[in-house]
Amino acid sequence: MFLVYEHVSRGSLDRYLDSPHLTWSQRLKICLDAAKALRYLHDQKERHQRLIHCDVKSANILLDDQWNAKVSNVGLSIMGPTNEHSSVTVTVVASTPGYCDPQYAMTHTLTKKSDVYSFGVVLFEVLCGRLCYTLDSKDHVNEILVTTWVKSYE
């Protein structure tokens, strides 16, 4: 399988999270663009089948030279349920640690809420200016910060 994408000169959002040059208006625009893309995937219209992305993360949000956001890796999405109130059960959890909806990780049940949770983590990254995890010296995930952040608000 080959996935072909439009050329995006700035690369992925994760490279810019901690950049002091990324203004708040640019951050907002990026978040709104990504939200609109997810809405398009999730809403069933005429011949368009509802899709669940399964791996929404800042590395999968690509930026062009005008800071327009494009949600990537859509080719790896799965067909969503035919209605809002249904879910899809999958046997393999394919989401990235830190972005994965805890309910999805435990039950292997997907709804569009799984993508919404992951997008919420991306929004938190954009607001905080950092990734939701830390890496060790071998570039393996060392600590998932979402759980630390949540515990600090309990």
Q: Are 30 and 69 in contact (CB under 8 A)?
A: yes
Is residue 14 helix, strand or coil? helix
Q: Considering 18, 33, 55, 136, which one is annotated as catalytic? A: 55
Is residue 135 helix, strand or coil? strand
Q: Is 65 a catalytic residue?
A: no
Q: Are 53 and 38 in contact (CB under 8 A)?
A: yes
Q: How far apart are CA 94 and CA 64, in angstroms?
A: 27
Active-site amino acid positions: 55
